A and B are shown apart, each in its own frame.
Chain A
Amino acid sequence: MKVRFEPWGAWVKLESTAAMVALDRSGVLALGLDGGAQWEPDAGPTAPIEVHLAVTQKCAAGCEGCYLDATPDGLEPARDVLLARLDALRDAGVLTVAFGGGEPTTRDDLGTLAEEARKRGLTPVLTTSGLGLSPAKVERLRGFAQVNVSYDGTREDYREVRGFDGAKGAEAAIGLLSRAGIRVGINVVLTQATFDGLPATLRRARSLGAAEAQLLRYKPAGRAATMDYLSRRLDPAQVTRLGETLRALTQEHAPTGFSIRIDCAMVPLLSADPVLYRSADAMAKAGIFGCEGGQALASVKVDGRVAPCSFVESTPLTAETFREGHERDPELTRWRAFPVAPPEPCGSCALAAVCKGGCKAVSRFVDGVHGPDPECPRVRAYRAARIA
């Protein structure tokens, strides 16, 4: 297992079980370790545990909501450039690298990059559209701990999110990966039009061999940063039903070993659920992450620049300067500072320590500020009360 000291103890990434564990200092001492200088009060922030690495900007799919604005002739870094970025992430203490793009499987050397990540002690995972994935290409993906296929639902639901019907291609990819013995999950972008189809989407994916579904909030970035966003995001009634929906989906699928995962941007929406709103401790114990931009999470974009997350603009830092520069970078510092003293209504929210103010990509687009998530039910209620 890999142990990374943190001011409060350590993150431990297990090898025999796919899990990360946060131990307090006493728990770290139980392992026969001591954090030393990293437990001193003046120890700086540590690096993210997970980094999203764009390995290409090339993609022919042309999804309407692509957060990267990927194109068929997008940038593609040379392999040596990416290897240097992997070196830098290893040196910083990053544990997991999520390969993305663009469409990563357009790279012939993707399997080599996964092997190189492993050699550096990093756990590589991958997101792909799955379109055009052949048995030969699947063989190159064996180095990844998990491969997620973008799958927003059958035919019309897929078309609704991406602007074309790629459901069959994605379904074929899920089946190929599963039959090859590669752990495969799906990424499901939730929009107003596809929310009601979610149960059917997950059943279909599970029947094809998927082991997990990650539910993603639709975000206003890249080609989705238009006024259309406002009509495609979940509506308030759907947000209110999100907790009960997750409860029902989990109870249906968990006994089969199929996991449900939510993305960081979904956490504020859970405040509408009265039970979950009182479950902050349980959510923290379950390792649920809200906005971790610039903290547990960072993104290395295709040009090598580092951003707090994939949906916002880059900082001047590069992957190579990240290790030395992330403690002092003003933008990353601002992101880390927000959850320390959040404004109302986050300041009085029971979920604040987990949620950390919600999705800043959304607040920046909708409100024009780095502030509380305007689509959080508590934020909406707070603002409505102030107007009234």
Chain B
Amino acid sequence: MTEPRRPVEDREVRAVRPGHGANCSSIGSVVDTLFVTALVGGAVFAAVVGALGREPIEVVGKTPDAPPAPDKPKDSPEPSSSEEPPA
């Protein structure tokens, strides 16, 4: 059941990863927003939330109706990265 599209609220944003990163050996993360003023960090955040409201949507990867993996180990302790929220 889907809802009509509405603006995303700040509290619904768990994380923002700015930039593309272009290193081919290890994954990188911008640290600017950890140290710069709240004003600059807020501007980045506002730009992102604005884009979320404007851009057309394309769903990639597993679709909502795709079944779970048939052979997923039941005794595995892993909830996986994906179940580890980034924030």
Interface residues of A (CB under 8 A from B): 1-9, 12, 14-24, 26-27, 29-40, 42-47, 50, 52-54, 67, 90, 92-93, 95-96, 98-101, 104, 121, 123, 125-127, 144-148, 183, 185, 187, 212, 214, 216-217, 219, 246-247, 250-251, 254-255, 259-265, 267, 276, 279, 281-289, 292, 294-297, 299, 309-311, 327-328, 333, 336-337, 339-341, 353
Contacts and interface: CB of A to CB of B under 8 A. Distances in A.
Given A254-B40, A328-B73, 14 more contacts: A1-B57, A3-B58, A19-B16, A19-B47, A27-B14, A30-B5, A39-B64, A44-B68, A50-B21, A126-B22, A214-B28, A259-B18, A289-B17, A310-B26
Contacts of A214: 21-23, 28
Contacts of A95: 60
B56 A1 contact: yes
Contacts of B6: 30
Taking each of B17, B30, B48, B86, which has the highest tally of chain A beta carbons within 10 Å of its own beta carbon? B86
Contact of B15 (A50, A54, A145, A287): A287
Given A36-B64, A96-B20, A337-B77, A30 B9 contact: yes
Interface string B53-87: 01111111111111111011100111111111111
A146 B22 contact: yes
29 contacts: A8-B14, A8-B83, A12-B52, A16-B55, A24-B13, A30-B8, A33-B64, A44-B68, A54-B24, A92-B61, A96-B20, A96-B21, A127-B22, A148-B23, A185-B22, A214-B21, A250-B32, A262-B29, A263-B25, A264-B26, A264-B27, A264-B28, A281-B87, A282-B34, A287-B86, A289-B27, A295-B80, A296-B81, A333-B73
Interface band, chain B: 35 or more
Contact of A44 (B25, B63, B80): B80
Q: Is the interface of A mostly helix, strand, loop or mixed?
A: mixed
A261 B30 contact: yes
Nearest to B5: A32
The 7 closest A-B pairs by CB, nearest first: A93-B61, A100-B24, A295-B81, A36-B64, A27-B12, A45-B80, A287-B17
A289 to B, nearest CB: 5
B65 A36 contact: yes
A31 B7 CA distance: 8
A292 B63 CA distance: 23
B70 to A, nearest CB: 10
Contact of B21 (A125, A281, A309, A328): A125
B48 A146 contact: no
Q: Is the interface of B mostly helix, strand, loop or mixed?
A: loop
A46 B22 contact: no
Contacts of B5: 30-32
A366 B22 CA distance: 28
Contacts, number: 336
Contact of B83 (A30, A45, A100, A262): A45
Contacts of A5: 59, 61-64
A163 B30 CA distance: 29
B78 to A, nearest CB: 4
Nearest to A20: B17
Contact of A327 (B7, B22, B66, B69): B69
A37 B64 contact: yes
B61 A296 contact: no
B81 A254 contact: no
B61 A286 contact: no
B85 A254 contact: no
